[in-house]
Amino acid sequence: MIFNSLISRVIILSLMLLSTGIGIFTLFHIHREERHLIEATRESAELLLSTVEKSIFNSMAVGNSSDVQAILERVGESRQLANLRIFHPDGTILKSSYPAEIGLRVNANDLALFVNQRSDGIYQIGGEPVLGMIRPIISNERCFDCHGPGSKIVGVLNLHYSLGEMMRRIGETSQFFLYSTIVVVILLSIGISIILLRFVKRPIQAMTAIMSRVEAGDMTVRMEPHLNDEISVLMRSFNSMVDNLERAQRELEKCHYQQMERADRLASVGEMAAGIAHEIKNPLAGISGAITVLADDFPEGDPRSEIVHEVLDQIKRLDKTVNDLLYFGRPGKPEFNFVDINALIKTTLFFIAQHPEAKNIHRIKELTRDLPALWVDEKQIQQVLFNIIINAVQAMPDGGTLIVETELAAHNGGRVVRVRVGDTGKGISAAEMEKIFVPFHTTKTQGTGLGLPICRQLILQHGGTISVKSQAGAGTTVTIDLPIATGLDSGPDNKNEVKTRA
């Protein structure tokens, strides 16, 4: 379709505006010219009418009424005059430049001018437009001998001035303007089309072709602006954008390659760690059992018992590390069930309160009531909450405030239950923030560096998300979003949420 092309729409709209503008100007000019010509014709007719009136008065004053008819016939020979006559106020023609109409009734339009006391009007007579003018002939003292005393209308001088020539001139002018408009529109159409095709359409087509190549993955193409106009500026901007895309693509490919190498390395490490963990776990269990048996043989107060208990603590630490390695390498499948997240948080906080490091911690719970039950693995989510809250407690060795919040929230077009765990500890530096989910990375003297990676793994396994915000010296906040299963949302709307503070 022609209207699907921007160039065609611009050309058509330009021509429509141009034609409308020229047409309005032409009509205004023709109307003004017509008014000027009619005004000039009226002035000429009035001058002629005044001259004829004076001649008639002079002839009537000396009693030569026959000269009046001669004057009318002689003046009526003019090509511009359609008729010249004198008619009685009752409409009867008394004298005329056409003697054959003497005694007949005057034209209804001429009589209407007299009756309505108008001096002139334009109307059609014999299919031709004329300017009709009347002038009443009023008797004076020189006319008293023939018409009796007193001023009265003894006749009406009537003139028809032909407007046919004027209308032909106006028609010729209109025709000239019409042809001129057509020629101007055609020339401008050709000019606008050439300009738009040469300086707009071709560059746009070239840009479209190059964009298609970029879309196909070819980042080597560039545009070549030849001028300094807006299209050239657009081309330069496009080239700059492709440069940035090419640079970003190279960086992305490099990063992707590094990530693939890292993932492959981690997979190998995970498999190896799982294998080693299996090999270590059974001997550790045997060593722990043997030492426990030996410790039972020591008498009470034997100093060797303290050494044995230290060895057993280290064995427990090694066993936890082995269990973390096994879990990270082959996490168990979740066993889903309906879980009240608020109740789970309260239970977890109860266990945390028994921890020695939690004695100096002030706990604040802001739990939204009537949250919908979540379809999750209770043990795995409790493990996540326990790890995160323990991390928060350990970040405040000198005491502080632990804040745990729950609420309904919108996320990615759906609703989730959001759990936030915040602390007022020392926070995490920007450099460390990039590595907190990296396996085996830890800043603690005791730890495997698998706590947060395992937490993220479990949350992702439930279709949720976990994020961390922290600033050195200002504390840390961990946010967990767990999706609400469709059809299981029995909780209130956000506007009806009520929080309890403890």
Least confident of 61-65, 188-192, 478-482: 61-65
Residues 324 and 381 in one domain: no
Is residue 423 included in any domain, yes or no?
A: yes
β strands within 105-257, DSSP E:
120-125, 128-138, 153-162
3-state secondary structure 448-494: CCCHHHHHHHHHHHCCCEEEEEECCCCCEEEEEEEECCCCCCCCCCH
Residues 116 and 58 in one domain: yes
Residue with tokens 């008797």: 139
Tell me, what amino acid is at 304? Answer: R
What is the average pLDDT score of the chain? 80
Instruction: Using alpha carbons, select from 325, 318, 329 the residue that is nearest to residue 284.
Output: 318
Instruction: Using alpha carbons, select from 107, 114, 204 the residue that is nearest to residue 155.
Output: 114
What number is the average pLDDT over the span 170-195?
A: 84
Tell me, what amino acid is at 481? Answer: D
Is residue 180 included in any domain, yes or no?
A: no
Task: For 44-102, give the DSSP string.
Answer: HHHHHHHHHHHHHHHHHHTT-HHHHHHHHHHHTTSTTEEEEEEE-TTSBEEEESSGGGT
∠ CA 256-260-265 to the nearest 5 degrees? Answer: 150
Is residue 177 included in any domain, yes or no?
A: no
Distances (CA, A) of 478 to 143, 386, 423: 122, 13, 9
Of 330, 355, 378, the last residue of a domain is: 330
If you ran DSSP here, which 8-state letter would residue 105 be given?
Answer: B
- The percentage of the chain sitting over the pLDDT mark of 90, rounded to a whole number, equals 8
Of 330, 354, 376, the last residue of a domain is: 330
Residue 398's CATH number: 3.30.565.10
What residue spans of 297-331 are helical by DSSP H? 304-329
For residues 379 and 336, the answer to whether their CB atoms sit within 8 Å is no
Whole-number Å distance between alpha carbons of 40 and 18: 33
Is residue 289 included in any domain, yes or no?
A: yes
Residues 56 and 107 in one domain: yes
Whole-number Å distance between alpha carbons of 263 and 275: 18
pLDDT in tens, 268-286: 666 666 666 666 766 777 7
For residues 107 and 125, the answer to whether their CB atoms sit within 8 Å is yes
Specify the pLDDT at position 344.
92
Least confident of 96-105, 118-127, 451-460: 451-460
Distances (CA, A) of 29 to 36, 40, 195, 216: 11, 16, 31, 59
Residues 440 and 497 in one domain: yes
Least confident of 4-18, 41-55, 185-199, 310-324: 310-324
- The percentage of the chain sitting over the pLDDT mark of 70, rounded to a whole number, equals 82
Specify the pLDDT at position 277.
66
Is residue 190 included in any domain, yes or no?
A: no
Do the bridges between strand 400-411 and strand 361-368 make them parallel or antiparallel, or are there none, so unpaired? Answer: parallel
Its pTM stands at 0.41
Is residue 175 included in any domain, yes or no?
A: no
Cβ density class 382-418: b for 16+ within 10 Å, e for less:
bbbbbbbbbbbbbbbeeebebbbbbbbeeeeeebbbb
Specify the pLDDT at position 493.
43
∠ CA 254-256-259 to the nearest 5 degrees? Answer: 110
Residues 18 and 148 in one domain: yes
Residue 316's CATH number: 1.10.287
Residues 157 and 81 in one domain: yes
Is residue 288 included in any domain, yes or no?
A: yes
Of 136, 152, 170, the last residue of a domain is: 170
Residues 324 and 367 in one domain: no
Residues 369 and 325 in one domain: no
Specify the pLDDT at position 450.
62
Least confident of 92-106, 262-276, 307-321: 262-276
Sequence length of the chain is 502
Instruction: Using alpha carbons, select from 472, 463, 306 the residue that is nearest to residue 381.
Output: 463
For residues 79 and 101, the answer to whether their CB atoms sit within 8 Å is no
How many folded domains does the chain comprise?
3
Under the banding of pLDDT at 50, 70 and 90, the label for residue 9 is confident
pLDDT in tens, 427-446: 888 777 777 777 665 666 55
Is residue 194 included in any domain, yes or no?
A: no
Whole-number Å distance between alpha carbons of 67 and 60: 8
Residues 144 and 223 in one domain: no
- State the maximum Cα–Cα separation within the chain, in Å, rounded to a whole number: 176
Both tokens assigned to 319:
């066993």
Under the banding of pLDDT at 50, 70 and 90, the label for residue 481 is very high
Residue 115's CATH number: 3.30.450.20
Tell me, what amino acid is at 128? Answer: E
What number is the average pLDDT over the span 257-264?
A: 72
Neighbours of 478 (CB within 10 A): 24
Is the per-residue pLDDT at 448 higher than 90? no
Residues 146 and 230 in one domain: no
Task: For 382-414, give the DSSP string.
Answer: HHHHHHHHHHHHHT-TT-EEEEEEEEEEEETTE
Is the per-residue pLDDT at 14 higher than 50? yes
Considering only residues 156 and 331, tell me which one the structure prediction assigns the higher pLDDT.
156
Residues 354 and 315 in one domain: no
Phi and psi at 353, nearest 5°, equal -60, -25
Domain that holds residue 116: 2-170
Whole-number Å distance between alpha carbons of 345 and 359: 18
Residues 425 and 326 in one domain: no
